[in-house]
Amino acid sequence: MFYVYFHYRVDTGECFYIGKGKNKRAFVSKRRNLFWCNIINKTDYKVVIAQYFEDEKDAFLFEIDMISRINPVANLTSGGEGVSNVKVSESTRMKHKEHSLRMWSNPDFRQKRTRELVDATKTPEAREKSSEIQKKFFNDKNNRIARAISCGGKPYIVYKNSEFYSEEISIIEFAREHGVPAPNICRCLKGKGKSAHGFTFKYKELL
């Protein structure tokens, strides 16, 4: 299983890097570029798994699309590069890195390659494939809850008739299952509303 992940600065909340990985790659600080290292030397960072994929090519397409939209400062390329399960020596890795930096420092090459990679995500086939992947992913309740957790969702307690009803993490999930508008739940959690459809909501950390 592959995934696309985001790295956010804790101090500003800015997404400074987007990558494709598997296993623990999103949480590893080794083999990062100089720009990435300079940022984490100044601030902590938060990892968000944006989406999971069975096919590595689909993960690459999504990575390219996200980089083109957000343009993170620590991404030296437009994504879609590298292949899993291929082992290379450190010297070969350094040569590849130096070559890549030289190529991408050329404005003409960078513009041409970026246009090619971004265009690859705009074909009807790529858009249809991306839509299918997202629908399949979010049709799974466990994936929706995992997404809420990775995006910083906070546990909250639900009460009905002043009695404990359940402990939840995903606002969207509870809204879907109980027919309660998600904005109303948010208002209650923020203290701007008392109840919604007979339910009251409190963040667990505030109890």
- Of residues 68 and 91, more confidently modeled: 68
| Residues 27 and 127 reside in one and the same domain | yes
pLDDT exceeds cutoff 60 at 159: yes
| Residues 117 and 136 reside in one and the same domain | yes
For the stretch 140-156, pLDDT in tens is 666 666 666 655 578 89
| Residues 174 and 76 reside in one and the same domain | no
Residues in contact with 2: Cβ distance below 8 Å, sequence separation at least 6, in sequence order: 20, 21, 22, 52, 53, 54, 55, 56, 58, 59, 84
Average pLDDT for residues 108-121, to the nearest whole number? 69
pLDDT exceeds cutoff 80 at 111: no
Read off the amino acid at residue 54.
Answer: E
| Residues 96 and 164 reside in one and the same domain | no
For the stretch 6-63, pLDDT in tens is 999 888 888 899 999 988 899 988 888 888 988 998 988 888 888 888 888 888 888 8
Residue 88 confidence (pLDDT): 46
CB atoms within 10 A of CB 61: 25
CB atoms within 10 A of CB 164: 9
- Of residues 110 and 11, more confidently modeled: 11
| Residues 51 and 108 reside in one and the same domain | yes
CB atoms within 10 A of CB 152: 9
**Which of 145, 171, 198 is the last residue in one of the domains?**
145
Residue 152 confidence (pLDDT): 58
**Which of 128, 145, 162 is the last residue in one of the domains?**
145
| Residues 56 and 111 reside in one and the same domain | yes
For the stretch 73-99, pLDDT in tens is 888 877 766 545 444 456 655 665 566
| Residues 12 and 32 reside in one and the same domain | yes
Residue 95 confidence (pLDDT): 63
H/E element holding 167?
Answer: strand 163-168
CATH number of domain containing 190? 1.10.10.10
CA distances from residue 118 to 54, 62, 70, 103, 199 in whole angstroms, order as listed: 21, 10, 12, 18, 45
CA distances from residue 121 to 21, 89, 96, 108, 124 in whole angstroms, order as listed: 19, 32, 25, 21, 9
H/E element holding 142?
Answer: helix 141-150
**Which of 145, 172, 190 is the last residue in one of the domains?**
145
| Residues 69 and 112 reside in one and the same domain | yes
Average pLDDT over all residues of the chain: 79
Is the Cβ–Cβ distance between 63 and 51 less than 8 Å? no
| Residues 93 and 9 reside in one and the same domain | yes
- Could you list the residue range(s) of the whole structural domain that residue 15 is in? 2-145
| Residues 56 and 78 reside in one and the same domain | yes
| Residues 170 and 133 reside in one and the same domain | no
| Residues 128 and 159 reside in one and the same domain | no
Q: What is the count of structural domains for the chain?
A: 2
